[in-house]
Structure 1
Amino acid sequence: MAKATSTSRPNFTLSLLGRFVLTGRDGAVSLPNKKLAGLLAFLACMAPHPQSREKLSTLLWGSHLDAQAKQNLRQALFKLRQILGQDALQSDGEFVSLNATLIACDVSQFEGLVREGSRDALSAAADLYRGRMADDISVGEESWSEWVTGERERLSELALGALVTLGELELSEGRAEQALRVGQRANALNDMREDSHRLIMRALSATGRTAEALKYYRDIVALLKRELSTEPDLATKSLAAELRSNHAQDVVPAAAEVAPEVSPPLALIMHGEKPSLVVLPFRNMGGDPEQNYFADGVTADIITALSRFRELVVIAHGSSFALRDKGMTSQQIAQQLGVQYVLSGHIRKAGSRIRVSAELTHTGSEAQVWSDRYDRPLTDIFDLQDDVSSSVAAVVDPAVRSAEIQRARRKPPTNLSAYDLYLRALHHLWGGTREDIAKAMDLLRQSLRLDPARTPTLAALAWGLVMAPPLGAHTPADGAAEALGLARRAVEQDGTDAFAHAVYGFTLFGPAGDNDQGRIHASEAVRLNPSSAFAWGVLGMIDSMAGEYENAVACLHRSLVLSPYDSMLHLWMTGLTASCFALGRHEDGIAWARKSVRHNPGNGTGHRMLAANLVAAGRLEEAREITRRRDAAQKTTIRDLRAMRFFKQNDVLERYLSAQQVAGVAD
């Protein structure tokens, strides 16, 4: 029997990615049956979180009588301890967990590498993923089948995402051949993923094989029609149009003057109800030809950043730049491209600073929807380009959404589509009051009755169900389970939707209590769309509640910078004041709490956090006055606050509850 030692080296390594392989210090270790292997695999994937004995017995012996299932579990745990050592399994009676310091599992290593996200880490993660998890473990129980199928799909999606991101990094650093090989590896895992197909197309074009990339696109069209009876999505069609446009420019003699024309596949794209937008090349107003490359770079980066917002249809870089200097008005460009919004701007260098001005126009009414300017010091040109493009993209998305919401609210109630109902719901979803959240959920349910499979609507309703209890709104008895199911469906339907991943992450973290998986999905949302203030905000809230306070402050500040006029500001500010309370920065916490409740006077948690920081700062009368006013609007007890468990760390939670008692909150 194995014994734990004082060394930090694990006693065993468990490989689950591909075939099940357990290795000790003396070589391979065999287990007597598949259910024992399944039990170890499950505990390793869940480690270090304890699992109830009831859950474990149902997972592997659910078809047995209850008493027999429990007996089988006791025997299996006894056998595992014999093989792995007494210290390998930890139990407090009802719950069992695996000691991850003694047994290293490749699944957790793989997830950690994906979270790290660097080129080397993603390359190592790709090498670690050798196939479907525990591909040789078969257990004839429904609960096991559900769990292992979900885990296999989740890890496969993580591997695919890691490969595509790795390929994009290779491509951005000029290693097109390596990017092509990575894209082909991703395609071998799942040939229905269009982001891997797009990676291959871009890599082929970057190696000078644009004609081959276009032929590859035609093969994708045939594949999707044959296997799924569908067409490539807009991003793939737009890339094909861009490649076709570039290829045409390469083969047409330079002297030939060709009229601006959009490639037929792009012109024929049906935008549906999503708002569509073109970003015109920003103009260099400084008179310095050397700044042209900077203006073009900012434009291209804004297009890339906006393309990550799944609720926008963004015209590709090639089609936008092909219309430069053709003497066409914004209206003519919009008509030719079939878009509803035009984003234009100019850049001017003055001494050691750069000023970027941008404006968003609705092409139908010619009304200016939004405008702003950005003054930045001219230091590192690439950092400056990233900063400006992400800032503009982050504000343009909510500006378009706000304009679309107003349009939907003006439509007659008798003529509302699923998309109109969704837009009307968003107005209430971000309102932050009990009445708003109830109205939002009603509209979202109406929308789903008309279109049951729309990813953003599923995710929005899940968010509403999660936000309703803290606001005191009525939810079904199974509201938490419904939210989790809706958010999971949203991610399963579109694994590249950052909003869906952020909502799923928060739902996993909060109602489901799965902290690690929640953070993985929130981090994936930020990776998918670094310009999403919502994704950064959710990641910051998760870190604030989980005890990663410094990281929470950084993420929440990033969210506020990206979208300084966002309707969600009160929530992100609440996360900041909570983190400040935990870190002992009480004056900062008071300042953020006051901003939070000014932004949304109905924000109950914001008031409670304000009172807690005031108590910690010794300002007791102010704290008690805040409690008196808040209790008049909505009575809350210490028991209620403990059940909400805003802080997952016990010491901080107790400090918070003690402050609330001092502030006058009743037991």
Structure 2
Amino acid sequence: MTETAPAPSPSFTLALLGRFELIGPDGAVSLPNKKLAGLLAYLACTAPQPQHREKLSTLLWGSHFEAQAKQNLRQALFKLRQVLGQSALRSDGEFISLNAVVITCDVPQFERLVRKGSRDALTAAADLYRGRLVDDIAVNAEGWSEWVAGERERLSELAVGAMVALGDQELSDGRAGDALLAGQRANALNSMREDAHRLIMRALSAAGRNAEALKYYQAVVAFLKQELGTAPDATTSALAAELRKVQEQKIVLPAADPTADLSHQAEHVFGNDRPSVAVLPFRNMGDETEQDYFADGVTADIITALSRFRELVVIAAGSSFALRDKGMTSRQIAQQLGAQYVLSGHIRKAGNRIRVSAELTHTGSEAQVWSNRYDRPLVDIFDLQDDVSSSVAAVVDPAVRSAEIERARRKPPTDLSAYDLYLRGLHHLWGGTREGIVKAIDLLRRSLSLDQERTATLAALAWGLVMAPPLGANMSADAASEAVGLARRAVEQDSGDAFAHAVYGFTLFGPAGDNDQGRIHASEAARLNPSSAFAWGVLGMIDSMGGDYANALACLHRSLVLSPEDSMLHMWMTGLTASYFALGQYEEGVAWARKSVRHNPSNGTGHRMLAANLVGVGRLEEAREVTRVRDAAQKTTIRDLRAMRFFKQHEALERYLSAQQIAGVAD
């Protein structure tokens, strides 16, 4: 009996979803022109169906005379056979088809996975869809333009449908966080698809974030009215009505009993390592009783905003408000509530302005950790309430963290818990130096060895591994992939942790090169915690590198306003100077670069951006001096800077590298 020879393995793989990419046995293959790439893309998408020669010639050369179009097609087929081999194209008289045995393409594979419909298949299909069909192929031919526009829309809708279907399965399996990500990916592809919006709403509600789901619905209502002049469909409106019922039927806990001893409450529920904060009702110092409502609203909103910082235990509003007017001191209240820190404040109206004063006290030592005053015009009372509460919450978190770090640094080295090691690691992590980042990674690894499930430690270590190379620290070859894995674990453990999402977004955008998915996670971080300067800073950095410079400036400036004393200021300032460089606003770029390197002289990218902007304004000698000083601390070449690829946009990157060459950076 004669055995049948196995079918030969494909010699070429063709990626069309996103950028055109042809890979042969010896690596990437370049085609001579766009029309040749377009012809191959069309044959791959329609394979194995044979295509008539006249249809192919009209597709790409329809504006030519018939004889010339046919001649161009013959030449194109000849060139393709030269690149792919004689067996890659099959010819049957007037018909041409692509041999799928020789060349495989991601488009048919994507469509097969979508049709299969299992969770694994849909996950693979979503990962395979890297962007619009041949996004980088532009052919000036009417037939091609019509075909590619239709195919792009069809495949995009398939991708959205696959992501929504995947999200539905994730929800059925109890994975609300994964369902939310699937919905966000679908929405990023087509913001008009209400099934994607509904998936996001359902996922938020399933994750216990019902109020956010209803708030998201209101945003959808406003968006559809603005873009389409219409209201959500009946299915979306019905879902919102269901969510409102859930919200109304939530069990309201009784007010805290002020006579009860709550000193062990935080420890019992959360463990004894995270710092706990009690926000006492802010006092109205004026005569107008309506300001009482404003003071209570600010207090409640601060509690809500602080609760979004996962490293804090925030005493519930019911407990804090229950002890008001009981004649107790702040320390007595703190002891009653089991809080290590107390935030108190008062509000005074003067004319058409509101003044809010707040202070944070460590209850054990009675030392004032932080205080500030906020003066705001009295305009829309709800906007004012949001502004004040967000501003206060944004600075209280780093203030508590700094106090906790200082406490951990005073402890004997032989008596360090996983949390103490984590805090000591943060001290070096945010310092932004080469030596500090190495110490931070070591301390965070030691902390993780004692507590492998701590979300904040996983995310912090991932951040350290990502930031080490730009600071000049030597890392292993797998450090980038390890960072992605650690950040993914952090998000999987707590899908509501804004810090974890921000770090995961940055690792995906940078080391992994998954720009769209990285931005989704960074956007989710800012949505989860609008008071997080870190979340807004990371989103701004991603947009600064990715090319959305206007949004980068908005996010980075917001980060600076939220936390003006933050240790990460140098990084957000670097993002600003990079954005101004890309926009050609070099004077602004110079100003922010100088601020960045003053804030952290070890910030190598800040020095490089300063040199580039100085070249932009024509101050070449200053630029070369900046390069000389920086090279003395850490030598960097044009090849190194190209590999770092700070700018994802080709034009901005080439202009940046050219400026570095002028500034004296070696090839």
TM-score if structure 2 supplies the norm length?
Answer: 0.71
Task: Name the residue aligned to 2:253.
Answer: 244
Is 2:177–2:203's contact at 8 Å kept on the other side of the alignment? no
- Aligned: 1:411 with 2:411: yes
The match for 1:168 among 208, 211, 216 is 211
1:579-603 CA-partner distances (Å, limit 9, x unpaired): 0001111111111000000000011
What residue ranges of structure 1 are gaps of 5+ in the alignment?
Answer: 1-39, 56-69, 112-124, 136-147, 187-198, 206-212, 214-242, 249-257
- Aligned: 1:525 with 2:516: no
Is 2:507–2:518's contact at 8 Å kept on the other side of the alignment? yes
SS in 2 for 1:244: coil
1:355-405 CA-partner distances (Å, limit 9, x unpaired): 100000001111111001011111111111111000000000000000000
Task: Name the residue aligned to 1:132.
Answer: 169
Please identify, of 489-498 and 70-79, the stretch whose mean Cα deviation from structure 2 is larger. Answer: 70-79
- Aligned: 1:476 with 2:480: no
Task: Name the residue aligned to 2:640.
Answer: 640
Task: Name the residue aligned to 1:48.
Answer: 18
Task: Name the residue aligned to 1:584.
Answer: 584
SS in 1 for 2:477: coil
> Once the 2 structures are TM-superposed, how far is the Cα of residue 48 of structure 1 from its aligned partner?
2.4
Task: Name the residue aligned to 2:458.
Answer: 458
- Aligned: 1:397 with 2:406: no
Q: Could you say if the C-alpha distance between residues 529 and 72 of structure 1 is closer, same or farther in structure 2, counting changes exceeding 3 Å? A: farther
Aligned Cα root-mean-square deviation (Å): 3.8
For 1:437-516, list aligned pairs within 5 A.
437-516=437-516
1:628-655 CA-partner distances (Å, limit 9, x unpaired): 1111111111111111110000101111
- Distance in 2, matches of 1:81 and 1:423, equals 46
Q: Provide the aligned length of Structure 1 versus Structure 2.
A: 518
Task: Name the residue aligned to 1:190.
Answer: none
For 1:173-184, list aligned pairs within 5 A.
none
Q: Could you say if the C-alpha distance between residues 129 and 484 of structure 1 is closer, same or farther in structure 2, counting changes exceeding 3 Å? A: closer
Task: Name the residue aligned to 2:661.
Answer: 661
Is 2:265–2:338's contact at 8 Å kept on the other side of the alignment? no
Task: Name the residue aligned to 1:218.
Answer: none
SS in 1 for 2:632: helix
Q: Could you say if the C-alpha distance between residues 79 and 654 of structure 1 is closer, same or farther in structure 2, counting changes exceeding 3 Å? A: closer
> Once the 2 structures are TM-superposed, how far is the Cα of residue 525 of structure 1 from its aligned partner?
0.3
- Distance in 2, matches of 1:133 and 1:72, equals 35
The match for 2:155 among 98, 103, 112 is 103
- Aligned: 1:155 with 2:182: yes
> Once the 2 structures are TM-superposed, how far is the Cα of residue 326 of structure 1 from its aligned partner?
0.9
Q: Could you say if the C-alpha distance between residues 353 and 106 of structure 1 is closer, same or farther in structure 2, counting changes exceeding 3 Å? A: farther
Q: Could you say if the C-alpha distance between residues 498 and 110 of structure 1 is closer, same or farther in structure 2, counting changes exceeding 3 Å? A: farther
User: Aligned letter for 2:155?
Assistant: I
Q: Could you say if the C-alpha distance between residues 407 and 392 of structure 1 is closer, same or farther in structure 2, counting changes exceeding 3 Å? A: same
- Aligned: 1:430 with 2:430: yes
- Aligned: 1:204 with 2:256: no
Is 2:18–2:135's contact at 8 Å kept on the other side of the alignment? no
For 1:109-120, list aligned pairs within 5 A.
none
SS in 1 for 2:345: strand
> Once the 2 structures are TM-superposed, how far is the Cα of residue 132 of structure 1 from its aligned partner?
2.3
- Distance in 1, matches of 2:246 and 2:554, equals 36
SS in 2 for 1:343: strand
User: Aligned letter for 1:399?
Assistant: A
- Distance in 2, matches of 1:263 and 1:110, equals 49
- Aligned: 1:340 with 2:340: yes
Is 1:286–1:349's contact at 8 Å kept on the other side of the alignment? yes
- Structure number, greater radius of gyration: 2
Task: Name the residue aligned to 2:88.
Answer: none
1:45-84 CA-partner distances (Å, limit 9, x unpaired): xx425677699xxxxxxxxxxxxxx976835669679999
- Aligned: 1:553 with 2:559: no
- Distance in 1, matches of 2:297 and 2:579, equals 37
User: Aligned letter for 1:624?
Assistant: R
- Distance in 2, matches of 1:392 and 1:283, equals 15
- Aligned: 1:74 with 2:44: no
- Distance in 1, matches of 2:361 and 2:308, equals 20
- Aligned: 1:537 with 2:533: no
Q: Could you say if the C-alpha distance between residues 107 and 344 of structure 1 is closer, same or farther in structure 2, counting changes exceeding 3 Å? A: farther
> Once the 2 structures are TM-superposed, how far is the Cα of residue 100 of structure 1 from its aligned partner?
3.1
- Distance in 1, matches of 2:548 and 2:136, equals 27
- Aligned: 1:616 with 2:661: no
Q: Could you say if the C-alpha distance between residues 292 and 174 of structure 1 is closer, same or farther in structure 2, counting changes exceeding 3 Å? A: farther
User: Aligned letter for 2:157?
Assistant: C
1:255-285 CA-partner distances (Å, limit 9, x unpaired): xxx8544689957535421000110000000
SS in 1 for 2:169: coil
SS in 1 for 2:168: coil
- Distance in 2, matches of 1:81 and 1:276, equals 49
Task: Name the residue aligned to 1:225.
Answer: none
Is 1:262–1:319's contact at 8 Å kept on the other side of the alignment? no
- Distance in 2, matches of 1:73 and 1:374, equals 69
Task: Name the residue aligned to 1:31.
Answer: none
Is 1:433–1:471's contact at 8 Å kept on the other side of the alignment? yes
TM-score if structure 1 supplies the norm length?
Answer: 0.71
User: Aligned letter for 1:100?
Assistant: R
User: Aligned letter for 1:591?
Assistant: A
SS in 1 for 2:592: helix
User: Aligned letter for 2:18?
Assistant: P
SS in 2 for 1:371: strand
Task: Name the residue aligned to 1:294.
Answer: 294
Identical columns (%): 67
1:430-457 CA-partner distances (Å, limit 9, x unpaired): 0111000000000000001101111100
Q: Could you say if the C-alpha distance between residues 499 and 259 of structure 1 is closer, same or farther in structure 2, counting changes exceeding 3 Å? A: closer
SS in 1 for 2:103: helix
1:209-257 CA-partner distances (Å, limit 9, x unpaired): xxxx2xxxxxxxxxxxxxxxxxxxxxxxxxxxxx3324x9xxxxxxxxx
Is 1:81–1:89's contact at 8 Å kept on the other side of the alignment? no
Q: Could you say if the C-alpha distance between residues 82 and 428 of structure 1 is closer, same or farther in structure 2, counting changes exceeding 3 Å? A: closer
Is 2:369–2:400's contact at 8 Å kept on the other side of the alignment? yes
User: Aligned letter for 1:385?
Assistant: Q
Is 2:425–2:439's contact at 8 Å kept on the other side of the alignment? yes
User: Aligned letter for 2:657?
Assistant: L
User: Aligned letter for 2:404?
Assistant: E
What residue ranges of structure 2 are gaps of 5+ in the alignment?
Answer: 1-12, 26-98, 115-131, 138-147, 185-198, 219-234
Is 2:211–2:247's contact at 8 Å kept on the other side of the alignment? no
Is 2:305–2:529's contact at 8 Å kept on the other side of the alignment? yes
- Distance in 2, matches of 1:162 and 1:348, equals 37
1:80-122 CA-partner distances (Å, limit 9, x unpaired): 79999xxx964999xxx996345232544898xxxxxxxxxxx
Is 2:306–2:393's contact at 8 Å kept on the other side of the alignment? yes
> Once the 2 structures are TM-superposed, how far is the Cα of residue 152 of structure 1 from its aligned partner?
6.9
Is 1:614–1:623's contact at 8 Å kept on the other side of the alignment? yes
Is 2:262–2:337's contact at 8 Å kept on the other side of the alignment? no
1:466-505 CA-partner distances (Å, limit 9, x unpaired): 0001111021110011001000000001100000000000
Please identify, of 285-294 and 396-405, the stretch whose mean Cα deviation from structure 2 is larger. Answer: 285-294
- Distance in 2, matches of 1:611 and 1:174, equals 47
Q: Could you say if the C-alpha distance between residues 270 and 502 of structure 1 is closer, same or farther in structure 2, counting changes exceeding 3 Å? A: closer
> Once the 2 structures are TM-superposed, how far is the Cα of residue 623 of structure 1 from its aligned partner?
1.0
Is 1:167–1:183's contact at 8 Å kept on the other side of the alignment? no
Is 1:167–1:182's contact at 8 Å kept on the other side of the alignment? no
User: Aligned letter for 2:587?
Assistant: E
